[in-house]
Each structure stands twice: as structure tokens, then as C-alpha cells.
Structure 1
Amino acid sequence: MIRVIVPFTPGGGTDMVGRALIDDMSRELGQPMIIDNKPGAGTVIGSDMVAKAPPDGYTLLLTTSALAINDSLVKKLPYDTQKNFTGVGLICSGPNVLVTHPGSPYKTVQDVIQAAKANPGKLNYGSSGNGSAVHLAGELFKNLAKIDLTHVPYRGAGPAYNDLMGGQIDLVFGTAGGVAKLVDGGKMRAIAVTSAKRTPAYEGVPTIGETVPGYEAEVWYALFAPAGTPPEALNRLNAALRKAAEAPAYRARLVNEGLNVAVNSPQDMTRFLRAEEARWRKVVVEGNVSVD
């Protein structure tokens, strides 16, 4: 049996991405696979379990951009991201969304920038937590737009969304899937998406990069194994991942959540992780971001 550790609580975006995929991979491999949710410490607890597991292909990590971000954000990790993990494959990627209250005066990215420059530090944005991917999306926006926004971290996305809808905060960086129904229902206004290109899931909504050149902050989901896992095991898992992720029904499900299938090879996934570590380290250092 293959154990797939998810370092998040059940029912979140990673579960949505993972459960149908793992079921199809299990059928393709001809052996059972189970998802084991091990949340805590900003994904560090579950990630550490995989880092220290036997490298035999029977313990995997299904995680997000958080693995790359934590490499520089968390000062004393119990594992070495570069030495303890190897890629199985990227699953999918997609944007976060900058949203505001429907009655807010901020209708465009330029509106936000102008207001922030006129009143440095007075405009705020909420996120699902300090050090989360959506928090770092906000910090990258501040960095590239050269503005001062006040970050308001919450213990989860739900409370942040509630305060935005209640008018207690100005803006939120949320996940595409998490805010979709609220935007469609008129309870939030989508100002921009954080991906390099516009997405069909948010038709007509521009990217932040159209106003702030060079801005891109997609969230991604991927499978990893402990370092030292034999190449033949990684290749077998990757082949099953690729077939499951590229099934039309699964692709359609992800598109509805604003995500796109983007499977790569084990070697490319490891290289991609290194590049993401370097990219987010720059944001963490320049923004003086801390989880303490």
C-alpha cells in the first residue's frame, strides 16, 4: 500500500486536487493508495514525516508551493528541503485572486496602487495565514508595485473571507477555487488574478502583471518522494500520475477550480522546486517576512 501524506486538513484545496487523482493512480498501478492528512506547523509536520520515511516509493508527499516557501520562511526546519525530497511530478497550477468587497472603491489594480501610495500602510489585505502562499503573493505585489500594504493574517481562509465581506478589511489574496462561488454570487469582486496569463475560470478578469510587469504568483500542487527513492519507482509513479491527471474528467474538474494540469517529469519537478525555492527566498528576504 502506498501512503500519500497531505500536510493540510481534510476538505481543502489539496484534498480536492488529490483524492480523485490518487484513486485513478491506484487503479493504474494496481495497488491501493491512501491519503493520510497530517496538518500542522504550516505543512512542516507532514512534510517531515515524508522526509524521514524509507525511500522505497511507498510514502509520498502531496503538497503545494508551501514546500518551496518554507525553505526560507521557517528558520529551523527539521528537514533539508534540497537534500530530503525528490520530485515525482507536478500535478497542476493556477492563480490566486485579489478580491475586495463589491462595494469597495477599488475596481482595478491601479486603483489599489494609487490608494496605497496616497496612504502608505493604511490599506490592508488579509490572507489565510502568515507565510502562506497567498500571503507571499501579497508580499510580491508590494515588492514589485513598490507600495506599503498592511498584512492581516488569519487562521484559515474562511475568517479572512468573512471579514472582507463584512467590510473589516480592504482586500484579500485568496485561492481561485476558494473565492469562485463568492465572486459568482456577488459577495466579492475579483480585481485581478496572480497568474502570468488570464484564466477562463475568471473570464474578463485581468492579471496583476498587466499593471505590474513581471508579477506572477501561481499556486502549484505536486507529488514528492523521500530522497533516494529509486528512479524506476519514480518513473512508475510518474507514469501513473500523468495518465490520471490527463484524463478528460479530471482536467475538466480542475478547470472549474481555476487550475490547469501541468504534469512534468521527476527530474523536471526537482529542478522546478529548486527554482521556486530561490524565487520565494528573494521575496521573503526583501520583504523581511517572518512567521515568528
Structure 2
Amino acid sequence: MIAGLLGQRIGQSVVSENRGGAGGTLAAAAVATAPADGYTLLYGTPGQLTILPILMSNLPYDADRDFDPVSLVSRGAYAIAVHPSVQAHTLPELIELARATPSGLPYATAGIGSGPHLAAELLTFMAQIRMTHVPYRGSALALNDVVGGQVPVSFDNFGSQLPLVRAGQLRALAITTSTRSGLMPDLPTISDTLPGYEVSAFGFIAVRSGTPKPIVDRLNDEIQIVLRDPAVEAHATPMGAVPSGTSSEEARRILRGESVKWRQVIQHAGIRL
């Protein structure tokens, strides 16, 4: 959606190339080694520049040195949900269930070091409970096993879980953002139970570092206009996302703040790839 509208704005084709693998590091590496001319953009998530650099010592790029953020483009939430058979209908009840499970209440995520994994570790730290991480190779596999009853608890993107919640296959307990979602206004936030808890799933656009500032500024200006297009909001809302543009400086500040936050969580939880 962003690529198409941005292309209309700048009068050039903007091609979206999905380059998967290694938690998004292959895509980031492609941008880090591209010419610094503004023609190759990274649509990224926090893992590529704030989480994996903490977990991996052999990344093919330097997260601080090789990228200039252009703008955040969206914000969303993760959610904690359970299989309908689980005897917990609220987050406080789930916390008590975890305390009554000395072996650690299992929860599924899309993988070690993923955003949902770290969001869950922050929850266990703040609630002072023990839960057992069950990592999968992707969100679809994790959700399938929670729906099937093999794992009782799911931590995943809210938008991915929402259809399953509406179909009665999962029961949502809370979302990770500090404010409730308009898609389910009655669904509490984790901060309603644990004040100060806040985790956002966000997307951003960056370019290779050294890209001339006038080009970064032009891209930022056009992206802000694109994000205000009603079609973008209509496309993002069903997925639980909110278009959220920023200045390039604000995007950099947010990414650096996420690095500090997750370094503390990773060190406390002893997470290793």
C-alpha cells in the first residue's frame, strides 16, 4: 500500500521486494550495502535494528552505523491469548495460574528473540511469574498449535490473532500497548494490571546511512502525505495497525530507546539464539 502511493507521489515506480530470512537481517543487509542514494529503502521492524543486534554478534551490518531512519510508518500491538479450555478469563487469573504452575506455564511465539517473545519476557519480569517459552518457526505454526490445544498460551501480533478470537478459537486476555484498541475496546491492556507495561509493534522506513539529507527529507515529506491517505488507514485498521508517521529524528530516538529497553530485558531473561 505504501509503495504504490509513494510511487504516485514521486512519479516513479516503487517496487516492494519481500526478502525474507534470518529474522529480516537479509533484507536489512541488502539496504546496508546498497548505494546511499535513496533508491533502496528498508521497511523494517524493531527486530532488525534493536533486538537482533543485541542477540547476534555476527550480523552482516551495524545497526547504528549503516542506516538513517526516515520515518515510523505504523504502530500496532501484540496480544496475549489462550486456548478456550484454559481456566483463565482475565490476565490476573492467568498470572495466578502461572504462579500455580511451578514447571512454568507454556506460551508459544514466532521464535526466539521475536517481538512477542520479548513482550512476554517483560510480562513475566514485571509480574514475577515463570512461564516456559515454546518458540516456533513463524507465527502461523505457533497459532496453529495454540488453537489445537498443544500449547495453552499465545503471544503474537494482535491482528494475527483477532480472526481466531472472533471465531471463538482463542480467548484474548490483554494487549501490550498502553491504550486499548478500537477493534476490541473492551479488551484490557496489560498495563491495566501491571502499570508501566508498554510494548508497541511498529514498522519504519530507513535508508543507507550517508544518504543526502535533502533526499531523506523529501522521502519523509512524501511518506507523511501517504500515511494520511484514508486508503492507508482502511488497509491498516483490520490488521490492528495505526499509520504513525514521525520525523527522521524522532524515528531514530525511538529506535535507540527500544535498544536500551530490550537490552535490559534480554540480559535479565538470559535469552540466547
Q: Does TM, scored on the shorter chain, surpass 0.5?
A: yes
What CA distance in whole angstroms lies between the structure 2 residues aligned with 1:112 and 1:75?
36
Distance of 2:65 and 2:45 partners within structure 1: 18
- Letter in structure 2 aligned against 1:177: G
| TM-score, normalised by the number of residues in structure 1 | 0.91
1:277 CA displacement: 1.0
How many residue pairs match? The answer is 272
TM-score, normalised with respect to structure 2: 0.97
Letter in 1 for 2:10: L
Measure how far apart 1:113 and its partner are. 1.1
> Are the aligned partners of 1:101 and 1:171 in contact in 2 as well (CA < 8 Å)?
yes
Equivalent position SS for 2:64: helix
| Structure 1 residue 260 displacement after superposition | 1.1
* Corresponding residue of 2:103: 121
User: C-alpha displacement at 1:238, in angstroms?
Assistant: 0.8
1:275 counterpart residue number: 257
Aligned to 1:175: 157
Are 1:46 and 2:23 an aligned pair?
no
Aligned pair partner of 1:217 in 187, 199, 219? 199
Structure 1 equivalent of residue 84 of structure 2: 102
Tell me which residue corresponds to 1:3.
Answer: none
Please state whether the residue corresponding to 1:200 is helix, strand or coil: coil
Question: Which stretches of structure 1, 4 residues or longer, exceed 4 Å deviation after superposition?
Answer: none
Is it true that 1:132 corresponds to 2:78 in the alignment?
Answer: no
Quote the offset at 1:21 in angstroms: 0.9
Letter in 1 for 2:202: W
Superposition deviation, residue 178 in structure 1? 0.8
Structure 1 residue 91 and structure 2 residue 80: aligned? no
Q: How does 1:1-292 map to 2 (within 5 A)?
A: 20-67=1-48, 68-291=50-273
Gaps of 5+ in 2: none
Distance in 1 between the 2:238 and 2:36 partners?
35
Which structure 1 residue ranges, 5 or more long, are not aligned?
1-19
- Asked if structure 2 preserves the Cα contact closer than 8 Å seen for 1:202 and 1:258, the reply is no
8 Å contact kept, 1:201–1:257: no
% identity of equivalent residues: 35
Q: Distance in 2 between matches of 1:62 and 1:285?
A: 27
Alpha carbons of 1:119 and 1:266: their partners in 2 closer, same or farther (altered >3 Å)? same
